[in-house]
Structure 1
Amino acid sequence: MGDILATLYPWTKSIHIMAVISWMAGMFYLPRLFVYHTEKSFAGDQLDVTYQVMEEKLFKVIMTPAMITTWIFGLTLVLTPGIVDWSSVWPYTKLVGILGMTWCHEWLGRRRKDFSTGQNRFTGRQYRMMNEVPTVLMVLIVLSVVVKF
């Protein structure tokens, strides 16, 4: 099994990186959509309906499949012999970042459902602040993998 994973490593890593890029694009954009949705529309108006369609497609068609692909190919990389040095700190800091990113993804999914039921309770400012969380987590994850502290 290890030989197969080692042979497929460049492909696994490539797909993982593409999935991460897609997931992160959505993680940056969806909170921004929520800012506009909160500040520019009212429950039930045409703009509200338009934002809901955009948010749903972004979350269900792009972000969630990208997150799942990221996890699958990330775990495959972890299982590839010689890739992860478990005696180092970086795999654990990366894991904290990934779990945080997954939590953030789920939080955004719940906020999307709030909009769909007309029960949004957050302000544009709060969504702007939440928009920074994926950035901080991305920095943690990238530094963990590249610097390997």
Structure 2
Amino acid sequence: MADYFNWIKAAHVISMVCWFAAIFYLPRLFVYHAMSDDRISHERFAIMERKLYRGIMTPSMIATWIFGIWMLVLGWDVYKTQGWLHAKLTLVVLLSAYHGACGFYRKKLMDDAHYKTDKFWRWFNEVPVLVLVAVVILVIVKPF
């Protein structure tokens, strides 16, 4: 593979860490937003959620996908037969759908801070943790 492959991998991991940091924090903001009772708090959370989603979470997701696809293209002859990678990519697609759901829910919360309960958001916040654990195991252990 090309000499710069490790630089692309580093950029992929950095963008993935930023994406996960944001994807862990946004639903936590949803918890606090759902618990807020006054207009000022509601507006503050709406601003924080928008800035996190648009300014960090979405660009990080895009960068993760770009660097990941770049690595796939460079190493396709090796990767195409790796079952762990197919499983990882499935999880990344599901995480991207979760990301989209966060965007949908963010807009719903702007209209109604009590759209869902804080308990719902606490459970919703656990989903990406499970994805992260599975992805790390797949990439490091390569069980199949």
- TM-score over 0.5 for the pair: yes
> TM-score by structure 2 length?
0.92
Structure 1 residues 21-51: Cα deviation after superposition (integer angstroms, max 9, x where no partner): 1000011000000001001235xx0000000
Query: Identity of counterpart residues, as a percentage?
Result: 35
Measure how far apart 1:98 and its partner are. Answer: 0.3
In structure 2, C-alpha distance between the alignment counterparts of 1:109 and 1:82, rounded to whole Å: 32
Q: What aligned pairs does 1:46-125 form with structure 2 within 5 A after superposition?
A: 46-81=40-75, 84-118=78-112, 121-125=115-119
In structure 2, C-alpha distance between the alignment counterparts of 1:73 and 1:108, rounded to whole Å: 23
Aligned to 1:130: 124
Gaps of 5+ in 2: none
Aligned length: 143
CA RMSD, aligned part only? 1.6
Where do 4+ consecutive residues of structure 1 move more than 4 Å? none
In structure 2, C-alpha distance between the alignment counterparts of 1:104 and 1:131, rounded to whole Å: 10
Gaps of 5+ in 1: none
In structure 1, C-alpha distance between the alignment counterparts of 2:112 and 2:105, rounded to whole Å: 10
Conserved 8 A contact 1:27-1:105: yes
> TM-score by structure 1 length?
0.89
